[in-house]
Amino acid sequence: MGRKESLHYEFNRPCLIGIDYEEFHPESYRAVQIEMPDRNQVKRWGSGDPDADLAEALRWFAYEQPTQILGFRSSVLHFLQDSNRRVAVA
């Protein structure tokens, strides 16, 4: 029998983007936020305009964290569904 090798991959924790609001109540929108991988640092965009905040957060991430992975919290999809929004990212 051959030697069994251990497969070990280094995995970087992703940054996570979420929307801070009370579920089912999109009018309670507070901010878009990105949690950094260590979960100790959170960047927030809270202008009151969810579309502008989401666009600005994604733009910031693309330029400031180009080597990081961005995961989406379920709050993003829930907010889009609750507010009946469609999003186009350019």
pLDDT digits (tens, 9 = 90+) for 77-90: 999 999 987 766 55
Determine which helix (DSSP H) or strand (DSSP E) holds 44, and give its type and residue range: strand 42-45
Q: What's the pLDDT at 70? A: 93
Q: What's the pLDDT at 85? A: 78
Q: Is 39 left (phi over 0), alpha (psi -120 to 50) or beta?
A: left
Indicate if the pLDDT at residue 9 is higher than 50: no
Q: What is the pLDDT of residues 13-59, one digit of tens each?
A: 889 999 999 999 999 999 999 998 877 788 999 999 999 999 999 99
Question: Across residues 62-80, what is the average pLDDT?
Answer: 91
Whether 47 and 69 have beta carbons less than 8 Å apart is answered as: no
Q: DSSP label at 71?
A: E
Name which of 64, 15, 4, 9 is nearest 37 in CA terms. Answer: 15
**pTM for the full model?**
0.78
Name which of 44, 4, 51 is nearest 26 in CA terms. Answer: 51
